[in-house]
Amino acid sequence: MYNDTVIDHLTSPRNTGEIPDADGYAEVTSPACGDMMQIFIRVEENRIADAKFRTFGCGAAIASSSMATELIRGKTLEEAWTVSNGAVVRALGGLPEPKVHCSVLAEEGIHAAINNYRARMGLPPWEESADETP
């Protein structure tokens, strides 16, 4: 059902845990299955210096969260914002169709954490756009 990359991120997830005093934080839940992701980011000079997650859910949700944090670390906030669920799926080498919704959880978590950071800095939230779908 899962390819080697997904299994690797499931059995050896990257960037798990919390960042104490994170600059941005979000908790998102999938309405499709109830999986929940918490994501923490530390921002330095407009770049995501660190990203960690805690996900409670299926293997695809954990693998998607792990890959998402790998994809955004070191990126500017603007670059990280453009990491779509499709990019997560591609980086994982694919997910079974019934599990693609797990990658949406990762994208929503990234966006919510960035907007949480922006709110803490007194900045307006960035809006979702229709061209971000995979």
Degrees to nearest 5, angle at CA 122 with 20 and 126 = 90
Beta bridge partners of 29: 36
For residue 58, indicate whether it is catalytic. Answer: no
DSSP, collapsed to helix, strand or coil, labels residue 67 as helix
Q: Which of 102, 106, 112, 113 is catalytic?
A: 102
Residue labelled with tokens 């990280």: 80
DSSP state of 128: P
Q: Which of 14, 29, 33, 118 is catalytic?
A: 33
Q: Could you list the active site residues? A: 33, 102
